[in-house]
Structure 1
C-alpha cells in the first residue's frame, strides 16, 4: 500500500457571482473511518484535510512552521549557503521575496467553493486583483477558520520519518521544534503535501581552462580559519569531502561552520545577514553566487554588476527590482536567441542576453552573444528539482511510462522544442488539470476560469512592463 496523495482542484465560481459563503464543515460518512496523517499545512494540505474530514476520517496535520500557509509564509531569514547546495547549511523553507505579488488574478487562484474575495472594508487587507503574498496567506487562514481545521494542526512539529508497518499501517515520527526527542504515531494512510521543489537547481557554467562546474553536483569552495591559517575548503555536496585548495587533505571530523565563516584573518562574516551573501567565493570564478530561493530584498545588490540567469516569473520580477539599485543587471537565458544584447525600454542599466558561455578567474563572464562582462554577482533564478510521490491512484507500469515518455519526446522533437521544456505545461496547463481531475473522479475546471487565465497570460505578454 502506498501513501494516499490528494491533489485538490483550486477552483471557484464565476467572478460575476462571487460572494463569501458561510460554510460549516460538511461530514460525509464513508464505509470505514481511517486515521490519516497530512504532512504540511499549505494550500494543498488544508484542502486535503477538509476533504478527508468530510469523508469522516480522523485527521492529524503536521506543520513544521509556527503558522499555516506553506510557501506563502514570508521569512526574511535566508540560508547560510546562498546557493542552497551545502549539505550542512541552515535550512530556510521560505522562498518569497518581500515585494512579491501574485501573477494570477485572485479569482483564478481561489478554491471552487471558497472564493478569494477582496475584503475592501478591512484596511489591513490588500484588495487588488493581483494581491501581495500576505493577502494570500490571510486567505488561507480564513479558509482554515471557516472549516474548523486549526484544531487538527500540530504547529512547529516536523516529520522526520515515515515508514510502512505491517497490515498496511504507517508510522509517522515527528519532533517538536523545542525538543530533540521524536514521537511516533500510527496511521492508516499518509498524505504528503509539503511541496515538490526541495532542492535548488542552478545553472551549469563552464569555467576557464575547460574546467566545467555543474553546481548541482560539483565541489564548492569555502574559506575558513584553522589555527590562525587561512584554509579554502572544497566541499562536495555529494561526497561531503573537505580538501584544501592545493589538494592537501584537511583532517576535519566535521565541516567548518558556515553560519559564521571567516573570509580573512581579521573579519568574521555572519551569513545569516542577507547583506553578507557576497562574502563566500564559489568555484574558480571569484564572484559571488546566490539562488533566488535566498533572495528577499534588492539592497545587497546596490552598485553591483549582476548577471541573473533565468527567464520565468521570478527572474522577471527580481531583475526589475534589482535594477533600481544595481550598477548593471544582465539577464541571461537559454530561451534568448538573438545575437546581440538588448537594452530594455525604460531602463538604463538592464539588458537581456543569450546564455553565459564561460566564467573566468579575472571575474569576467563571457556570453554567447559576444559580450564580456565584469561581474560581481551571479543570481540563479532557475527553479528547483522536482520530487514526486504516488498514492491512491495506481501508477502505470514502468514499461508503459517509458513508452509514453519516448512518444512525448518525439512530439517535442517534431515541434522543435528542446527536452529541457519537458515539464513546461505552458498552453496545456488546464488540459493536464482536467485529466488529473478525471483520474480522481472530480469535476474539471470551469470554462470561465480557463478563459480568465488565458486572457491574463496574453495581457502579460502584451504589456510586460505594466503588468499586472
Structure 2
C-alpha cells in the first residue's frame, strides 16, 4: 500500500488526511502539539518571543540537532532527556509553537467558504442545539478550533501528538525518512519512519518578520522590549499599553485589531501604513479620533532614554513601544538539508501551482496560497494531491511545471504576492486548474472525494461579507475600485488574515 506522512494538525492537515485515507492511502499525521486546530489554538501565555529585525526564517528557525541512528534497528527508538538535542538556538527552541490567536480574535470569512464541503457548518448540533448563533457571519476563534478538532475525529487513530518532524530526507530507496521527536515532561523519544510521500500542511503563521530599516538594529539592541511583533499580543496584557505612546506598523487585519484594542487606553496610538490606496479594515476606524495615521516607518533615531520613529510622510514620534504587524515567513527547517533552496522565506519558487515540488513531486504542500478562500483551497489541493499519490492521475511534464513557475516569477517576483490569490477571478482560475489537472470533479475511485464546487453562492457570500470588514472613507475611490475587481482578503493557510508581506510591502 502507498504510504504518506502529513505534517500538521491544523485546518489544512485535517482535510488532507481525510482525503488521502478516502483515496486508500495509508496515512500518518504528525502534530507537534497535544491539541488539534493549528493556528486557531489559543495560548493564554505564549511566553517570550524573540524577533530580530531583518532576520530571515533560515536565520531564525534553525535546523535541530538529532541523535545518530546508525546501528539502530528499524522501528526502534532512542530516548533522551528533554532538550538534550535542542535546536541550535535557545531563542525559539520549539519552532515558534505558540500561535498568534488572541482572546477576542474572530473570523473574517463567512461560514460557507470557511468549512469543508462535506461539513458545511462550523458546529454540529449538541443535544439538538447548534452551539453558535445560526445567523452569525463571523465567529470566535474557539468555534474554528473546535470545528477542526471535530473534523479530525474519524482519523484520530493516525495522529501522533506532541511529535515534531525534525528532519525529512530521501533515502536511496526513494522513500522519505522522517526523524521525529515525541516530547514529554520526562524524556524525548526519537524515531525514524519511512513513507512514499510527504505532504507538508504546516501553514505559515509561525515565524514572524520585522523589516530592517536604518537605525532599527541599534534601537533593538538598546531597547529590545520596545520593538515587538504582534504574534504574542494578548489582551490580558493590555495594561502594559495604558497611557503609552504606541506605534502600530501595518494596516491589515492584525494592525486593525490592535488599533481598535489599544486606541481607547493608550495615550496616543499611531498607525503606520505603507499603502496610500486601497480599502481599510473597518476596525482601524474604531476610536479614530484617538488614532494618528502616518506613512511607512523609514528610520529610527536613538536618543537618551529611547528613540524616535521617522515616517515617509515626514512625521516623527517618540513611542514607548512599536508593534509590528508585518506578517510571517515560510519556513521548513526539517527540509533544509534535503531541499536547501526550497524557500527564501518569501515564496517557494519550485512549487508548481503552489502545491507540488517540481523536482520531486513526492513532496507536496497543502496550504501555501494566501488570500485564497482558505478552507476551500485546502480541499481542492488535498483532492489533487490524493489523486496523484494514489496513481489516479499524472502531473504535467517537468518542462510544463517549470514554465508555470517561471511565468509566475516573472509576474510576481520574490514577493508575498507570488502565492496570493487576491481576486475572485484568481481564486476561480486556481480551483478550475486543479479540477482539470485532477481529472474532473467526480472521484474515479469508490469512496474517494469529489472536488468541491466553488460557484455563484460562494462568490455572493464573499461579496456580502465585505462591507462588514471594510470602510470606504477616507479611501472611497480605492474602495470602489476594490469592489469592482472583487479583490479578497480571505485568510492564510489556517484562515487568519495575512498582514504585510515579508519584505514589508502591503499586499
Superposed counterparts of 1:35-434, under 5 Å: 35-83=3-51, 87-90=89-92, 91-117=96-122, 125-127=131-133, 128-145=136-153, 148-178=154-184, 179-207=187-215, 213=216, 282-283=220-221, 288-297=226-235, 298-336=238-276, 344=285, 346-362=287-303, 363-387=307-331, 388=348, 390=357, 391=361, 393=395, 396=399, 400-401=403-404, 403-405=406-408, 407-408=410-411, 421-427=417-423, 428-434=426-432
Task: Report the TM-score, using the length of structure 2 for normalisation.
Answer: 0.62
Deviation at 1:424, TM superposition (A): 4.1
The alignment partner of 2:213 has SS state of: strand
2:454 aligned with 1:449, yes or no?
no
Q: Could you say what secondary structure the match of 1:110 adopts?
A: coil
Deviation at 1:79, TM superposition (A): 4.8
Relative contact order higher in (CA < 8 Å, ≥ 6 apart): 2
1: CA distance, partners of 2:203 / 2:262: 28
Alpha-carbon distance between aligned partners in 2 of 1:432 and 1:364, rounded to the nearest angstrom: 45
Unmatched 5+ stretches in structure 2:
61-88, 279-283, 332-347, 352-356, 363-394, 442-450, 475-507
Contact 1:304/1:326 (<8 A) preserved: yes
CA distance in 2: counterparts of 1:180 and 1:464, whole angstroms: 55
Deviation at 1:400, TM superposition (A): 2.5
Number of residue equivalences: 350
**Distance (whole Å) between structure 2 residues aligned to residue 344 and residue 135 of structure 1:** 26
TM-score, structure 1 as length reference:
0.67
Distance of 1:382 and 1:136 partners within structure 2: 24
Contact 1:71 1:95 in 2 (8 A): yes
* Distance 1:346-1:92 versus aligned 2 partners, 3 A rule: same
Q: Give the stretch that moved more between structures: 442-451 or 168-177.
A: 442-451
Q: Distance in 1 between matches of 2:409 and 2:112?
A: 37
Q: 1:80 to 1:396 in 2, by over 3 A?
A: farther
C-alpha distance in structure 1 between counterparts of 2:409 and 2:176, whole Å: 35
Distance 1:349 1:419, change over 3 A: same
Equivalent position of 2:380 in the other structure? none
Contact 2:296 2:311 (C-alpha < 8 Å) held by counterparts: yes
Question: By percentage of residues, which structure has more helix?
Answer: 2
Between Structure 1 and Structure 2, the one with more strand by share is: 1
Q: Structure 1, unaligned stretches of length 5 or more?
A: 1-32, 208-212, 214-219, 222-280, 413-417
Structure 1 distance, partners of 2:267, 2:206, is 32
The answer to whether the Cα contact below 8 Å between 2:260 and 2:286 also exists between their aligned partners in 1 is no
Counterpart of 1:440 (choices 428, 438, 447) is 438
Residues 1:453 and 1:161: Cα distance change in structure 2 (over 3 Å) = same
The CA distance in 2 between the partners of 1:337 and 1:455, in whole Å, is 22
CA distance in 1 between partners of 2:159 and 2:198 (Å): 15
Q: Which runs of 4+ in 1 moved over 6 A?
A: 120-124
